Structure 1
Amino acid sequence: MDIAVPERIALDGMVLRRALVSDATALFEAYARDPEATRYLAIRTVTAVEQTQEFLVRCQRDWDSGHTFVFVMTLPEDDRPFGAIDMRIEEFQASFGYALARSHWGRGHASTALAALVELALAQPGIWRAWAFCDAGNSASARVMEKAGMHFEGRLRRWHVAPNLSDEPRDCLAYAKVK
């Protein structure tokens, strides 16, 4: 499905823009190397900026394919990224994931970014569902989804592996907004 996704979205107090390979060092320093910031992610905490560069190369390719769109979060007065959020399009639905520097936790950035992308996705004619999940132990991420206007749908048993916590699948909480 082809959808209209802008490369830059100005929000109240924040800018989302297309992730670039040149953002690797900033993202590595902001959260990718931080075990606490990556604790619940599906990837291991990275140990070298080159891993972040490889990830961003894949992000560019995925964006160009029109199915996965990765944005970095920046402040209007400073283009240095402090976080990232992605939107993945599959058939009639969009799913999301996000991570940001601990120095920016608790400021509403994740919920603001998520709400904007949920609305963007649901504004597309063929998208009927916008959803995300978080580890059952990640109450802060659950609050992000609630603040973004998503509704709790249920617990997904043994749904997700968070390799920084365990090699075994863990329970997750699913949230969605539909039209």
Structure 2
Amino acid sequence: MGEEIKTDLVLAENQWIETERLILRPVTLADTEDVYEYASDEVTTRFLFPANQSLAETRANIATSFIKDPLGKYGIELKKSGKLIGTTDIRVNDHNGTAEIGYALNSAYWGNGYMPEATAALLKLGFEQLDLVRIFATHDVRNSNSGRVMEKLHMKKEGLISDAERRNGEVVSLVIRGITRSKWLALQQTENS
């Protein structure tokens, strides 16, 4: 079985992931209002993408970004209320055994540990089931909150990409952080001891 087919199968078998307080699941059009709540909030979107201007725009973005190609993309739902509070994804490069994770979280839910909990589940999926050698993420140098999420996952700063891309009309520099399979496995053994 080719690596790409294996990856797709693992992701298809793991479209629903449960953590202590969260359910990671496919995003649907029924989530439009919850997604719009944070996608239209300039505090939430400042370092990510232009804020959505209408429910119709959010609905179209859900169709294009989540429904059209859903594997590895998750809505983050609170178990206790069923509310979708953000999204996270894992983008696998089968050729080199790596993946990049990304995320967005409604600013009303910042500071509760939800994003480290959600993305830790993606690290586990990546290292235990996809047999990846490294997982990385980037964040705008001005977005210290995102950097703290990565630090909680033991993702070490690997470098700075100056003038990396244009976001929201500004040229931004990105910090890249990563964790290797061997480091993640060692941390799991330490935590389970």
Q: TM-score, normalised by structure 2?
A: 0.82
Amino acid at match of 1:50: A
1:47 to 2:53 alignment = yes
Superposition map of 1:88-107 within 5 A? 88-91=91-94, 92-107=97-112
Contact kept in structure 2, 1:14 and 1:75, CA below 8 Å? yes
1:169 — aligned with what? 171
Point out the structure with max Rg over C-alpha: 2
- For residues 12-51 of structure 1, the aligned pairs below 5 Å read 12-29=20-37, 31-41=38-48, 43-51=49-57
Q: Are 1:128 and 2:133 matched, yes or no?
A: yes
**Distance in 2 (alpha carbons) for counterparts of 1:125 and 1:23:** 28
Deviation of 1:79 after TM superposition, in Å, equals 1.6
* Residues 115 and 149 in structure 1, CA contact (< 8 A), matched pair in contact too: no
Structure 1: runs of 5+ lacking an equivalent:
none
Provide the C-alpha distance between the structure 2 equivalents of 1:168 and 1:34, rounded to a whole number of angstroms: 18
Q: Higher relative CO (CA 8 A, sep ≥ 6), structure 1 or 2?
A: 1
**What amino acid sits opposite 2:27 in the alignment?**
A
TM-score, with structure 1 as normaliser: 0.88
Query: What does the per-residue CA deviation read over 1:84-115, in whole Å, with 9 as the maximum and x for residues that have no partner?
Result: 11111223221111111111000001111111
How many residues of Structure 1 are paired with residues of Structure 2 in the alignment?
170
C-alpha RMSD of the superposition: 1.4
Mapped to 1, the partners of 2:78 and 2:170 lie a distance apart of: 37
Whose helix fraction is larger, Structure 1's or Structure 2's? Answer: 2
**CA positional deviation for 1:126:** 4.9
Counterpart among 10, 13, 17 of residue 9 in structure 1 = 17
Structure 2 gap ranges (5+): 182-193
Deviation at 1:125, TM superposition (A): 4.5
Contact 2:158-2:176 within 8 A present in 1 as well: yes
Identity in percent: 27
